[in-house]
């Protein structure tokens, strides 16, 4: 019985690629140095899977930024602003597309389906001249082969690539991206031919858009694409991989009828209903790559349950045609549990990271083949039983409090217009008030202080003193820049979710459980294993300290319940909304304590609310109802004069704008600039927004410093669709990933632009 892995984490067990990338970007190391680190990581990944007994090992899932950008490079689809003149795409062009450079902005970045991973959105139009411009897929296949590992090269499928793209600036929004299929398929044919010549016997096309709600013409594009590729694919075994949700019956029918395709990869963790489609109709002689090991969470697989599922499928597709696989790429989980030295043994026994999931896949494959490792299965069963019965998982008082939420929609009693009037009387802010989103640059010195405090190398007094000094520096800088509503810069926090999880019950933490979010940015999601509550205040001391340093309003900074949920590894033994309500109650306690401490502006970030939106439209209403309700629970008890902000970033918000309005926040700051001001179109189309709103005026994920004129132009575009009395001026997101040399001039220009527009508005009266 064969085994397969859809994809594997790239960063390395100790974030080796992250540090290599950042060193290269800072010009402290060469391209050769970066490539050497990357080659070492690839080699160890392939060897690990081969040693574990995996038959179908992927290649070309490694990336220096993201796999969609790799496909853009392969197709030579470089926007003209980057000045690429043909030939093999090098690091300069590649990273300029991803991050921007001194003269041009980066391409748009957005969430990969409903995950916290991001991809760079291709910008396409009728005039794009596609060409085979990156031989990475073939090079990595040959690299693995030279190491004695025959891999399955993985390509982003041609139809998904186009469906995930957007019309370039200046191209009609109604332009059909799928009309470009005949232009990109010749490049795919070149790649396929080279892979065949290099000795590949299998090829994997990732077509995850098949799980979306697709129209008939979009499904037809899959049929047309693979019919066109059929002769080129002849002689290869072809796997079409889907993940993240069920397939509709129409999508499933399209999939199993594709020409030239040998095998179908299905997510049977998030797509359990697809099993019924397989049982009712599976093409004879084809392979089913059954994704029964969860690639998106860190819980140990219930091996007995998975084996039962596989045995039922084996009866349908045949013993020789069933391959045990992961539900999706393991990119979305942490690398190796072996590196966790501080998790207690009980919780550790409940978990499986990427390396352990590889072992689980192979153990299931061997069990199906009659070589069941009884001791391994028995140990797994004991861990499953331990988790179900452990007293640390359940807190009766928390469950009662969450159950009591039913029957109320938790809305503040006064409407937002009246609240804004009351808040303005208290805060006395100018028109177009300026603020930032929360974090300020995390310097090496600041990271050292936090690291040494965690390692007990400095005392708590020394730590508090150092953090207070950093807060004072940030407060003084904002006053010098003349920003209106200040933040304390979050110097005590490494991560906006991890910080809160460390102080809430029901959470566990890892030392090296890093997961890639985008580029070199890694996050360490907390693990929610039990009922959640707040034992004591979490941010009141730091926010009060910061407020004491200034007469200007200081924002209390919190992460919202939906974002904590969506950016954590969440328990899978109860519905997600129940866990979210528990977190909401904990954040509510914190909000009310901040208000009592004299904090008049409180930001409750919901950066990931859109990210959690189910891929199926039929499931949107239920999710948005409990997600928005969870946010309202956090601040239902505050006074009218307390201004509640929220922040959202890097997603397409236009389709949920009415739910955003229903959150009933006083002010929302929202990503706008990197997505070509896509957000503003919803207001042009007539949506009325009465609360305060700050669409981002510049992209913080690029080192580029925007001019005053550029920012003023953005603000003017906003004023064309939004009233000046509700508009705020702020960056797209937090500033922690930037350097002060970039932050100071950018914020200076932002404030100057706001003042310029104030003068213009005043003179126009």
The 3-class SS string of 642-685 reads CEEEEEECCCCCHHHHHHHHHCCCCEEEECCCCCCCCCHHHHHC
Helix H or strand E encompassing 73 = helix 67-74
Selecting among 4, 118, 332, 701, the annotated active-site residue is 701
Task: Compute the Cα dihedral for 659, 564, 269, 225 and give only its sign.
Answer: positive
DSSP secondary structure of 311-342: HHHHHHH-GGGEEEEESS-GGGS-S-GGG--S
CA distance 267 to 136: 27
Q: Residue 250, annotated ligand binder?
A: no
Which of 471, 429, 459 is CA-nearest to residue 645?
429
CA distance 525 to 333: 9
Which of 705, 522, 417 is CA-nearest to residue 18?
522
Token code pair at residue 686: 């007539």
DSSP symbol at 108: P
DSSP secondary structure of 256-271: HT-TT--EEEEESSS-
Token code pair at residue 672: 């706008």
Q: Residue 445, annotated ligand binder?
A: no
Token code pair at residue 702: 């690029």
Q: Residue 328, annotated ligand binder?
A: no
Q: Residue 522, annotated ligand binder?
A: yes
Phi, psi of 174, rounded to the nearest 5 degrees: -85, 0
Which of 158, 154, 122 is CA-nearest to residue 138?
154
Q: Residue 580, annotated ligand binder?
A: no
CA distance 715 to 709: 10
Q: Do the beta carbons of residue 668 and residue 643 sit within 8 Å?
A: no
**Number of CB atoms found within 10 A of residue 126's CB:** 13
Q: Residue 605, annotated ligand binder?
A: yes
The 3-class SS string of 410-442 reads CCCCCCHHHHHHHHHHHHCCCCCCEECCCECCC
Which of 188, 250, 262, 261 is CA-nearest to residue 216?
250
Strands 692-695 and 667-670: parallel
Strands 166-167 and 692-695: unpaired
**Number of CB atoms found within 10 A of residue 621's CB:** 10
Q: Residue 620, annotated ligand binder?
A: no
Q: Residue 438, annotated ligand binder?
A: yes
Q: Residue 657, annotated ligand binder?
A: no
**What is each CA distance from 718 to 100, 361, 564, 713, 725, in whole angstroms?**
23, 52, 30, 9, 12
Q: Residue 671, annotated ligand binder?
A: yes
Which of 291, 229, 216 is CA-nearest to residue 262?
229
Catalytic: 701?
yes
CA distance 538 to 589: 10
CA distance 322 to 303: 17
SS3 603: strand
* Residue whose structure tokens are 């090079």: 139
Q: Residue 672, annotated ligand binder?
A: no
Q: Residue 604, annotated ligand binder?
A: no
Q: Which residues carry a binding-site annotation for L-methionine?
A: 437-439, 490, 605
Q: Which residues carry a binding-site annotation for 5-methyltetrahydropteroyltri-L-glutamate?
A: 18, 116, 521-522, 567
Active site residues: 701
Q: Which residues carry a binding-site annotation for Zn(2+)?
A: 647, 649, 658, 662, 671, 733
Q: Which residues carry a binding-site annotation?
A: 18, 116, 437-439, 490, 521-522, 567, 605, 647, 649, 658, 662, 671, 733
């Amino acid at each position: 019985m064969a085994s397969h892995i859809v994809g594997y984490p790239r960063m390395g067990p100790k974030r080796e690629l992250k540090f290599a990338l950042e060193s290269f970007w800072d010009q402290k190391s060469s391209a050769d140095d970066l490539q050497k680190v990357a080659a070492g990581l690839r080699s160890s990944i392939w060897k690990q899977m081969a040693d574990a007994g995996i038959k179908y090992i992927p290649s070309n899932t490694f990336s220096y930024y993201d796999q969609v950008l790799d496909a853009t490079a392969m197709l030579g689809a470089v926007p003209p602003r980057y000045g690429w003149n043909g030939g093999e795409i090098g690091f300069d062009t590649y990273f300029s597309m991803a991050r921007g450079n001194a003269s041009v902005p980066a391409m748009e970045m957005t969430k990969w389906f409903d995950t916290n991973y991001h991809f760079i959105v291709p910008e396409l139009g009728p005039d794009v001249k596609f060409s085979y411009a990156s031989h990475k897929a073939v090079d990595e296949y040959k690299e693995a082969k030279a190491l004695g590992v025959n891999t399955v090269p993985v390509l982003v499928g041609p139809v998904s690539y186009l469906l995930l793209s957007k019309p370039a600036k200046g191209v009609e929004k109604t332009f059909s991206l799928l009309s470009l299929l005949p232009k990109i398929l010749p490049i795919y044919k070149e790649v396929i031919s080279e892979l065949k010549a290099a000795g590949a016997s299998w090829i994997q096309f990732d077509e995850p858009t098949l799980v979306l709600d697709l129209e008939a013409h979009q499904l037809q594009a899959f049929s047309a694409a693979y019919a066109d590729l059929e002769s080129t694919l002849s002689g290869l075994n072809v796997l079409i991989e889907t993940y993240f949700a069920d397939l509709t019956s129409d999508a499933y029918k399209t999939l199993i009828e594709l020409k030239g395709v040998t095998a179908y990869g299905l997510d049977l963790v998030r797509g359990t209903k697809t099993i019924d489609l397989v049982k009712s109709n599976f093409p004879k002689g084809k392979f089913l790559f059954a994704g029964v090991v969860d690639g998106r969470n860190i819980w140990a697989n219930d091996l007995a349950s998975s084996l039962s599922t596989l045995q039922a499928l084996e009866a349908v597709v045949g013993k020789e045609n069933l391959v045990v696989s992961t539900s999706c790429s393991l990119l979305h989980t942490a690398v190796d549990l072996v590196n966790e030295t501080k998790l207690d043994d009980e919780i550790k026994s409940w978990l499986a990271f990427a390396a352990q999931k590889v072992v689980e896949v192979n153990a299931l494959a061997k069990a199906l083949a009659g070589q069941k490792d009884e001791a391994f299965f028995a140990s797994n069963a004991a861990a499953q039983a331990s988790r179900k019965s452990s007293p640390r998982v359940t807190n009766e008082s928390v469950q009662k409090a969450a159950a009591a939420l039913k029957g109320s929609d938790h809305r503040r009693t006064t409407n937002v217009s009246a609240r804004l009037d009351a808040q303005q009387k208290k805060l006395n802010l100018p028109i177009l008030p300026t603020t930032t989103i929360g974090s300020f640059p995390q310097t090496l010195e600041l990271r050292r202080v936090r690291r040494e405090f965690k390692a007990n190398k400095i005392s708590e007094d020394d730590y508090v003193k150092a953090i207070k000094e950093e807060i004072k520096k940030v407060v003084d800088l904002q006053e010098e820049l003349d920003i209106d509503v200040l933040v304390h810069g979050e110097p005590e926090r490494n991560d906006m979710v991890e910080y809160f999880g460390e102080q809430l019950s029901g959470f566990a933490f890892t030392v090296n459980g890093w997961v890639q979010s985008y580029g070199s940015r890694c996050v360490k999601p907390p693990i929610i294993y039990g009922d959640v509550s707040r034992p004591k205040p979490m941010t009141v001391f730091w926010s009060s300290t910061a407020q004491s340093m200034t007469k200007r309003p200081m924002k209390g900074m919190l992460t919202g319940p939906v974002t904590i949920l969506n950016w954590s590894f969440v328990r899978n033994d109860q519905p997600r909304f129940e866990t979210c309500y528990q977190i909401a109650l904990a954040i509510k306690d914190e909000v009310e304590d901040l208000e009592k401490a004299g904090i008049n502006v409180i930001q409750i970030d919901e950066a990931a609310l859109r990210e959690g939106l189910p891929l199926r439209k039929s499931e949107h209403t239920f999710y948005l109802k409990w997600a928005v309700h969870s946010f309202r629970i956090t601040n239902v008890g505050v006074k009218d004069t307390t201004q509640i902000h929220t922040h959202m970033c890097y997603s397409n918000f236009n389709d949920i704008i009415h739910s955003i309005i229903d959150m009933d926040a006083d002010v929302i700051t929202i990503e706008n600039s990197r997505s070509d001001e896509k957000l503003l179109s919803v207001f042009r189309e007539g949506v009325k927004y009465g609360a305060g709103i700050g669409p981002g005026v510049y992209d913080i994920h690029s080192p580029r410093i925007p001019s005053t004129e550029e920012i003023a132009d953005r603000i003017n575009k906003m004023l064309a669709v939004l009233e000046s009395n509700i508009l705020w001026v702020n960056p797209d997101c937090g500033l922690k990933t930037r350097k002060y040399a970039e932050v100071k001039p950018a914020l200076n220009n932002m404030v100057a632009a706001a003042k310029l527009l104030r003068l213009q508005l005043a003179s126009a009266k």
